[in-house]
Structure 1
Amino acid sequence: MASSLIRVAAPLLVGVAAGIGAIVGASLTRERKHLELETGPRPLAVEGWWSSDASSSLAHAHPAVLIVDADTAQLVDSWDRRTRGRVQRPVVRRTPEWPAGGLIVVDAATGDLLTVVGEAGRAGMPAT
């Protein structure tokens, strides 16, 4: 009687253990894929500290930025380091500190001027 019970229960226990292992393995694989960093769908209009993965005080203080044409206040591009993608629903807020022309990088949340891009000697440097 005991041997027939073992013959039935043993395969069932092995099947349950295999099923649990498969579920745990699939969830770990799904989480690992979710955590992997992916590149953006297209390159940014201009690259700089705002588009890197390296830690910096500026990048942590301003994780989401907008690249704007200061002449027209038109959005050229955006980047959010937290999501490694474009800023969702970006809003351009012109401030008095903006230069008259050129490409600029501004904080997506506040509109603060962070960098003037393309100006001689200041490309990629924080605005002062």
Structure 2
Amino acid sequence: MASPLIRIVAPLLVGALAGAGAIVGATLRRERARLELAPAPRPLAAEGWWSSDSSSSLAHAHPAVLIVDAGTARLVDSWDRRTRDRVARPVVRRTPEWPREGLLVVDAATGDLLAVVEARDGASAGMPAT
């Protein structure tokens, strides 16, 4: 009597477990994709770790950046890796550490200077001197 019952219940149990596993797997895959930092779909005004290298520790520390003209404090471009879009309502906060001229990459949340991309003298630097 147990044998016919097992023949009916076993496939149903295996199917239910497989379905639950597929749901959990899809949820984990979606969550992992949400946490990944993606590069910009179109080139930014200046390319570097802030726009292309999603594995960089700096990219995780500063996921949203503004590219600013230092001379005018005018926003040139922005990128937020978390939303995979331009920074919503960017605010440029000039700080005393900024050079007078050049193209700067600054943290969108704090305004910290992250990189000097172009200086008038043609020099470029990856990180500001401290």
Q: Aligned letter for 1:16? A: A
- In the other structure, the counterpart of 2:123 is 122
| Residues 106 and 114, structure 2, Cα contact 8 Å, conserved in 1 | yes
| Residues 69 and 104, structure 2, Cα contact 8 Å, conserved in 1 | yes
Q: Aligned letter for 2:46? A: V
| Residues 65 and 78, structure 1, Cα contact 8 Å, conserved in 2 | yes
| RMSD value, Cα | 3.3
State the identity %: 66
Q: 1:3 to 1:125 in 2, by over 3 A?
A: closer
Give 1:68 deviation, angstroms: 0.9
Structure 2 gap ranges (5+): none
Deviations 1:11-43 (A, max 9, x none): 322332332233233334334443555331211
TM-score (ref. length: structure 1): 0.65
Q: 1:88 to 1:29 in 2, by over 3 A?
A: same
TM-score (ref. length: structure 2): 0.64
Alignment of 1:85-96 (within 5 A): 85=84, 86-96=86-96
What is the distance in 2 between the residues matched to 1:70 and 1:28? 42
- The structure number with the bigger radius of gyration is 1
- In the other structure, the counterpart of 1:23 is 23
What is the distance in 1 between the residues matched to 2:4 and 2:23? 29
Q: 1:54 to 1:25 in 2, by over 3 A?
A: closer
Equivalenced residues, count:
125
| Residues 37 and 54, structure 2, Cα contact 8 Å, conserved in 1 | no
| Residues 62 and 107, structure 1, Cα contact 8 Å, conserved in 2 | no
Confirm whether residue 44 of structure 1 aligns to residue 44 of structure 2: yes
Q: Aligned letter for 1:118? A: E
Structure 1 gap ranges (5+): none
| Residues 104 and 116, structure 1, Cα contact 8 Å, conserved in 2 | yes
